[in-house]
C-alpha cells in the first residue's frame, strides 16, 4: 500500500485530473472479516481504471463503497475533490447481474434512473431511446428482459447508467455472466462507446486479459485483507484496432507482468 502512495508522489497528477479518489478506505464486516485495509487509489478523469484481483480481495466491496452503496469502516471517497457519503448523481452503477426489472420493458428499465429522478415520461423515454440505440439495442425497446440474451441485458444495464448523464461509470464485473465470444464483443463496443461519451470508468474484473485490454490503469488488489499491490498503466495504442491490440507486445507483457504479480498471492 505505502509503495503505491510513493509511486503517486513520484509522478504527481494535477488535482483537477483526479475525478475520484479513495483515501485510506478500510472495511471491516460485522463478523470481524477485514475486507479492505487502507486502500488509497486515484482515478483520473476520462480514463478507464480496472480493479483487478482474485475473488475475496474486496474489489466489489471497494466499488460499492465508492458508489455509496456500502459504508466504509474508515477513510473517505472524494468525487471532484468533495467527500461523498452516499450515492450521487455524478456516479452511475452497472450491475454484475444486470439488475433489470423483469416486469418492465427495456425502455422503462433504461429510463428507470431518470424515472426515479422525476424526469417527465416523454423526455426520459426520448433520452432512453437514444442510449438504447447507442448501445446497439435499437428495436428491443418493448421487449422484456426475459426475452433478451445476457449480452443484451447488460447493454440495457449500460444504457440505463448512461441515461443519467453521470461523469463516473462504476461497473461491477459487468461481463462476467456473459459467454466468452459475446464478452469480447461487448468489450470492444464499450471502448467504442467511451470514445464518444467521455466518461471516467471504474471497472471491476477478475480477468487479467479484460483488465489489460480495457484499461488506462490497472490496480492490482490482493486479499486477506484486501489491499493495493500495484498500479500498472499498460500504455499501448488502441487506435490499431482490437485484433492488433491483442497481439501487441506491450499488451502481452502487461498480462504476463500482472499474472506474475498475482501468482504469488494465490496459494
Partner 1 sequence: MSAETLSHDPSASSEPGMGLKDRVGDLPPIVWKLLSFALFFGLWELAGRIPISLAFPPFGDVVVALFGLISSGELIAAYGRTLPPLLIGLSITSVFGVGFGVAMGLSRTSEWALFPPMIILQTAPMAAIIPLITYAYGIGLTAKVIAVVILSLPMVTLNSYNGIRYTSDSLLEMTRSFMGTRRQQVVKIMLPHASGMIFAGLRLGISGGFIGIVLAELLITPTGIGDIISYYRSVARYAEMFAAIFSIIALATLVLTGLQVVERRIFKALGQGSLR
Residues that bind partner 1 (CB under 8 A): 67-69, 87-89, 91-93, 95, 97, 99, 101-105, 108, 112-113, 115-117, 134-140, 144, 146-149, 151-152, 155, 160, 164, 182, 185, 189, 192
Do residues 155 and 193 make contact, with C-beta atoms less than 8 angstroms apart?
no
Closest approach of partner 1 to the CB of residue 136, in Å: 3
Q: Who contacts 86 (Cβ-Cβ below 8 Å, separation ≥6)?
A: 68
Q: What is the DSSP string of 132-144?
A: HHHTT-TT-TT--
Do residues 135 and 185 make contact, with C-beta atoms less than 8 angstroms apart?
no
In whole angstroms, give the CA distance from residue 2 to residue 10.
12
Angle of the 150-163 helix axis to the 121-134 helix axis, nearest 10:
130
Closest approach of partner 1 to the CB of residue 89, in Å: 7
Closest approach of partner 1 to the CB of residue 100, in Å: 8
Closest approach of partner 1 to the CB of residue 265, in Å: 29
Nearer to partner 1 (CB atom), residue 76 or residue 97 = 97
Closest approach of partner 1 to the CB of residue 116, in Å: 4
In whole angstroms, give the CA distance from residue 178 to residue 162.
20
Task: Count CB neighbours of 105 within 10 A.
Answer: 18
Nearer to partner 1 (CB atom), residue 151 or residue 225 = 151
Nearer to partner 1 (CB atom), residue 1 or residue 138 = 138
Closest approach of partner 1 to the CB of residue 129, in Å: 15
Strand partners, 227: 222
DSSP one-letter code for 226 = B
Nearer to partner 1 (CB atom), residue 22 or residue 171 = 171
Do residues 78 and 23 make contact, with C-beta atoms less than 8 angstroms apart?
yes
Nearer to partner 1 (CB atom), residue 85 or residue 259 = 85
Nearer to partner 1 (CB atom), residue 164 or residue 232 = 164
Nearer to partner 1 (CB atom), residue 18 or residue 104 = 104
In whole angstroms, give the CA distance from residue 128 to residue 134.
10
Closest approach of partner 1 to the CB of residue 10, in Å: 35
In whole angstroms, give the CA distance from residue 222 to residue 165.
32
Q: What is the DSSP string of 40-53?
A: EEEEETT-EEEEE-
In whole angstroms, give the CA distance from residue 41 to residue 45.
13
Amino acid at each position: 500500500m505505502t509503495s503505491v502512495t510513493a509511486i503517486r508522489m513520484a509522478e504527481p497528477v494535477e488535482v483537477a485530473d483526479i475525478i475520484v479518489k479513495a483515501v485510506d478506505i478500510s472495511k471491516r464486516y460485522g463478523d470481524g472479516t477485514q475486507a479492505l485495509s487502507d486502500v488509497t487509489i486515484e482515478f483520473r478523469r476520462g480514463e478507464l481504471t480496472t480493479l483487478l484481483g482474485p475473488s475475496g480481495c474486496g474489489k466489489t466491496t471497494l466499488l460499492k463503497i465508492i458508489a455509496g452503496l456500502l459504508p466504509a469502516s474508515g477513510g473517505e471517497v472524494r468525487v471532484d475533490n468533495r467527500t461523498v457519503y452516499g450515492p450521487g448523481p455524478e456516479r452511475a452503477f452497472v450491475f454484475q447481474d444486470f439488475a433489470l426489472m423483469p416486469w418492465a420493458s427495456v425502455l422503462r428499465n433504461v429510463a428507470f434512473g431518470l424515472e426515479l429522478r422525476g424526469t417527465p415520461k416523454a423526455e426520459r423515454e426520448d433520452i432512453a431511446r437514444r442510449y438504447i440505440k447507442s448501445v446497439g439495442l435499437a428495436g428491443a425497446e418493448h421487449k422484456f428482459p426475459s426475452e433478451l440474451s445476457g449480452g443484451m441485458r447488460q447493454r440495457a444495464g449500460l444504457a440505463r447508467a448512461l441515461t443519467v448523464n453521470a461523469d463516473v461509470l462504476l461497473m461491477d464485473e459487468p461481463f462476467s455472466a456473459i459467454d466468452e465470444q459475446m464478452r469480447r464483443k461487448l468489450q470492444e463496443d464499450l471502448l467504442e462507446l467511451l470514445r464518444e461519451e467521455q466518461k471516467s470508468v471504474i471497472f471491476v474484473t477478475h480477468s487479467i486479459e479484460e483488465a489489460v485490454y480495457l484499461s488506462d490503469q490497472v490496480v492490482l488488489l490482493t486479499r486477506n485483507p484486501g489491499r493495493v499491490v500495484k498500479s500498472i498503466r499498460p500504455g499501448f495504442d488502441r487506435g490499431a484496432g482490437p485484433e492488433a491490440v491483442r497481439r501487441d507486445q506491450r499488451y502481452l507483457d502487461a498480462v504476463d507482468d500482472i499474472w506474475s504479480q498475482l501468482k504469488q498471492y494465490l496459494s
